[in-house]
Chains A and B, each alone.
Chain A
Amino acid sequence: MSMIEFKHVEKYYPNKFHALKDINLTIDKGEVVTIIGPSGSGKSTLLRTINGLESISQGQLLVNNMDLADKHTDINRLRKDVGMVFQHFNLYANKSVMDNITLGPRLVLKTSREEAEAEAHELLKTVGLADKADSYPSMLSGGQKQRIAIARSLAMHPKAILFDEPTSALDPETIGDVLAVMQQIATQGMTMVVVTHEMGFARHVGDRIVFMADGQILEDSRDVNGFFDNPQEPRAKEFISKIINH
């Protein structure tokens, strides 16, 4: 069963930059897909089209059976089902950790405050930050912020979560905690699309790897170890050798 389906998707930015070129990609429910590639290759753009933060110029994109090229698609309904975790967290600066997590459920899912807060406490335990409910984002470290951001997205009971370089802005020693939480979510069967430079995560947690360069998907493999040990495309070979041998 497919969750996300790109068919000949093209994306041009207003300055005519061709960001995505003939993207064809079908992601099944429960799959953990990591997208890697050099910067400027279109990874983040691809990810952001999945929940409509970026529009597509041509082709078809179906997410949770909703057509994103169709102007009549209710984008808010789609986003309710597709969570997103950002490189720079994007926690609500004016809200406490508790309100960050409960605002979406209360406003969008119409969950009662009591119910939303009870669940938020559970989620905070899951991400190992049970004592931070009353803190504000500015009081937290990067790794803590990112785990709160993951909890915020889980609170919406999404069918899929998109991760846009979730560890790239973190101090090295806090990356492990965030990856551990992501791994835990992955084992619970969540559909995940992860743009990352964490090759360990891609190799050990991902079910599938997509390599992008210059707006194109150059490799798409369910044999993740095979890809890392023996990439087929010259661009992929070059990329892998650069990150492994340094």
Chain B
Amino acid sequence: MFSVLFDNWGTLISGLGYTVWCSILALIGSCVIGTVFALMEISAHKVVRIIGRVYVEVVRNIPLLVITMFFYVVIPKYVVAIDGFTAGTIGLTIYTSAFIAETVRAGIESVPVGQMEGARSNGLTYLQAMTHIIFPQAIKIIIPPLGNQFINLIKNSSVLAFVSGFDLMYQGKLVASANLQTFDTYLAVGLLYLVITMPLSYFMRYLEKRWQTA
């Protein structure tokens, strides 16, 4: 296994780089989009609420691969030329955003309604109440499930392999088909995924502890 790792170091590390880059972009993108749809889902306006609900239900109930293929095949054909990495990253972002929306919504809804009423009666705007009162309380509840979503996101980034996204899985596939050492190669690939996911996992636990005491 180690010989596979050393013989193909450059290739696998470049794959790791694409995986990390895709994960960072998708993580930021899905958090922003997910939060927007979470706020839409709890909006006072019925139409906005329905739009949020439909987005979440549709997106999270379609396989990631299908969403990714849509961006890989349909968008270049009818809209604009994008490469596999871009299509895969967009697909992963959209897919994950639906799960993050649900996580954030549940976190916000776990804060007693009296907190919002107290803040609004105190003269705060909806946005001020959200940023100063509701979100700081919701984040404690959101962090653990959000950690799960982040780890899933990194692992799901292997979908890039199906759309020629040059990620770790893609490079692993190339290496394995060249050296025919399938077992050792995928073992090395798995190890490299752990190198990203394990520290993240510990970091989320650290955040969880820090926010509980804060």
Interface string of B143-156 (1 = CB under 8 A from A): 00000000000000
CB distance from A74 to the nearest CB of B (A): 10
**Are A53 and B120 in contact (CB-based, < 8 A)?**
yes
**Are B123 and A108 in contact (CB-based, < 8 A)?**
yes
- Does any Cβ of A come within 8 Å of B133's Cβ? yes
- Does any Cβ of B come within 8 Å of A196's Cβ? no
The listed residue (B120, B125, B133) touching A92 by CB distance below 8 A is B133
Q: Which of B24-32, B100-108, B111-119, B170-178 contacts A (4 or more CB under 8 A)?
A: B111-119
**Total number of A residues with any Cβ neighbor in B under 8 Å:** 26
- Does any Cβ of A come within 8 Å of B137's Cβ? yes
**Are A108 and B137 in contact (CB-based, < 8 A)?**
no
Within 8 A of B (CB), among A121-178: 149, 152-153, 156
A90 to B114, CA, bound (A): 5
- Does any Cβ of A come within 8 Å of B122's Cβ? yes
**Are A53 and B121 in contact (CB-based, < 8 A)?**
yes
The listed residue (A76, A83, A152) touching B125 by CB distance below 8 A is A76
**Are B123 and A79 in contact (CB-based, < 8 A)?**
yes
Known: A53-B121, A104-B123. 10 other contacts (CB 8 A): A53-B120, A76-B124, A80-B123, A83-B122, A84-B117, A86-B121, A94-B133, A95-B132, A103-B132, A108-B122
Instruction: Classify the interface of chain B: helix, strand, loop or mixed.
Output: helix
Interface string of A89-132 (1 = CB under 8 A from B): 11111110000000110011100000000000000000000000
10 contacts between A and B (CB under 8 A): A76-B124, A89-B114, A90-B115, A92-B132, A103-B132, A108-B122, A108-B123, A108-B124, A109-B123, A152-B122
A84 to B124, CA, bound (A): 13
**Are B122 and A53 in contact (CB-based, < 8 A)?**
no
CB distance from B129 to the nearest CB of A (A): 10
The listed residue (A82, A91, A156) touching B118 by CB distance below 8 A is A91
Q: Which residues of B contact A91 (CB under 8 A)?
A: 118
CB distance from A238 to the nearest CB of B (A): 32
CB distance from A137 to the nearest CB of B (A): 11
- Does any Cβ of A come within 8 Å of B182's Cβ? no
Q: Which residues of B contact A203 (CB under 8 A)?
A: none
Q: 8 tightest CB-CB pairs across the interface, nearest first?
A: A90-B118, A84-B121, A108-B123, A90-B114, A104-B122, A80-B123, A94-B136, A79-B123
CB distance from B44 to the nearest CB of A (A): 10
- Does any Cβ of B come within 8 Å of A51's Cβ? yes
- Which chain B residue has the least Cβ–Cβ distance from A81? B123
A76 to B129, CA, bound (A): 12
**Total number of B residues with any Cβ neighbor in A under 8 Å:** 16
A20 to B148, CA, bound (A): 47
CB distance from B110 to the nearest CB of A (A): 12
Contacts A94-B133, A94-B137, A107-B132 given; does A79 touch B120 at CB 8 Å: yes
**Are A93 and B137 in contact (CB-based, < 8 A)?**
yes
Q: Which residues of A contact B43 (CB under 8 A)?
A: none
- Does any Cβ of A come within 8 Å of B128's Cβ? yes
A201 to B132, CA, bound (A): 35
Contacts A76-B123, A80-B123, A104-B124 given; does A90 touch B117 at CB 8 Å: yes
The listed residue (A86, A92, A94, A156) touching B123 by CB distance below 8 A is A156
- Does any Cβ of B come within 8 Å of A88's Cβ? yes
Q: Which residues of A contact B137 (CB under 8 A)?
A: 93-94
Which of the listed residues A79, A94, A149 has the most CB atoms from chain B within 10 Å of its own CB? A94
A107 to B137, CA, bound (A): 19
**Are B115 and A103 in contact (CB-based, < 8 A)?**
no
Contacts A92-B133, A94-B136 given; does A107 touch B115 at CB 8 Å: no
CB distance from B116 to the nearest CB of A (A): 9
Q: Which residues of B contact A83 (CB under 8 A)?
A: 121-122
Interface string of A182-213 (1 = CB under 8 A from B): 00000000000000000000000000000000
- Which chain A residue has the least Cβ–Cβ distance from B136? A94
